Amino acid sequence: MLAATEYEQVTQIKMSRYPEFRPATYVSAYLVDSLLIDSGLAHTAEELADFLKDKAVKTVVNTHYHEDHISANALLKERYGAELLAHPLAINRINQPATLYPYQEEVWGYPIPTQAKKIGDSVSTQHFHFEVIHTPGHSPDHICLLEKSHGWLFSGDLFTTTHPNVARPEENQWQIIASLKKVKDLMPQALFPAPGRIISEPIATLEQTIQYLEDLGHRVMELSDNGLSPVEIRQQIFGDESLLAEFTQQQFSSENLVKSYLKKE
């Protein structure tokens, strides 16, 4: 299913293969002028393409290569000749067949590999100008788009919640903290995340998230210095793994979150 709502001149397009937008099973793309930011999941690619029939989309920017952000790329390129843009580190992931966990196949579906082009420093449409901000941490190729004159920040999966308790294996929380600080310093007036609701006046939310993640990191490092293993640290801070960990075959787990603070790179 698909539902569109307006926020100033931005259209939020929520997509899910299920009949309601339950957390962790839907994702949003954003349409501004002729620019679509992310293209969502494979199971709703046709629905999205139909919705965009009269919208004259010229460009699709993927915030990162994950399958719930790129999976209508091929269809939008084929049907509307959309130009596909992503960070240089995303290109080789977008044009290769994806390897997915069974739950990802169920919830999102497989993207058709497509050839995207490397995005530059900015993207312009008829009425707006977007700066490309490299924001690694959730994934190495992650970017945000900033429309400075309106203070709109399209944040992909950089921000999910103020108190994350799970992470994917490839995440690096120290990088996420640095990226959150980078976007906070841009003084956005509105945050447009892929996984959740639009946030007006997001500075306090960003500050709260940064504080939480820094405090958590210091706690993890201290326990690690005291000789605790990642599993012991996870048990002490979060207790047992959540249902989300079970549902995602441990792809999103608290243990991954702990480990993501202990990475050396």
The residues binding Zn ion (CB under 5 A) are 66, 157
Judged by CB, which is closer to Zn ion: 66, or 184?
Answer: 66
Conformational region of residue 29, where left means phi above 0, alpha means psi within -120 to 50, and beta covers everything else: beta
How many other CB atoms are found less than 10 A from the CB of residue 68? 24
Residues 233, 258 contacting (CB under 8 angstroms): yes
Judged by CB, which is closer to Zn ion: 15, or 223?
Answer: 15
Q: What is the CA radius of gyration of the chain?
A: 18
Closest contact distance (angstroms) between CB of 259 and Zn ion is 17
Closest contact distance (angstroms) between CB of 68 and Zn ion is 7
Closest contact distance (angstroms) between CB of 9 and Zn ion is 26
Q: CA-to-CA distance for 57 and 46, rounded, in angstroms?
A: 15
Judged by CB, which is closer to Zn ion: 223, or 257?
Answer: 257
Judged by CB, which is closer to Zn ion: 65, or 80?
Answer: 65
3-class DSSP assignment, residue 25: coil
Query: What are the residues whose beta carbons fall under 8 Å from the beta carbon of 68, sequence distance 6 or more?
Result: 27, 40, 41, 104, 107, 108, 194
Residues 107, 41 contacting (CB under 8 angstroms): yes
Closest contact distance (angstroms) between CB of 103 and Zn ion is 14
Judged by CB, which is closer to Zn ion: 24, or 203?
Answer: 24
Closest contact distance (angstroms) between CB of 108 and Zn ion is 10
3-class DSSP assignment, residue 152: strand
Dihedral, 66, 69, 70, 71 alpha carbons, nearest 10: 100
Judged by CB, which is closer to Zn ion: 130, or 159?
Answer: 159
How many other CB atoms are found less than 10 A from the CB of residue 144? 26
Closest contact distance (angstroms) between CB of 65 and Zn ion is 8
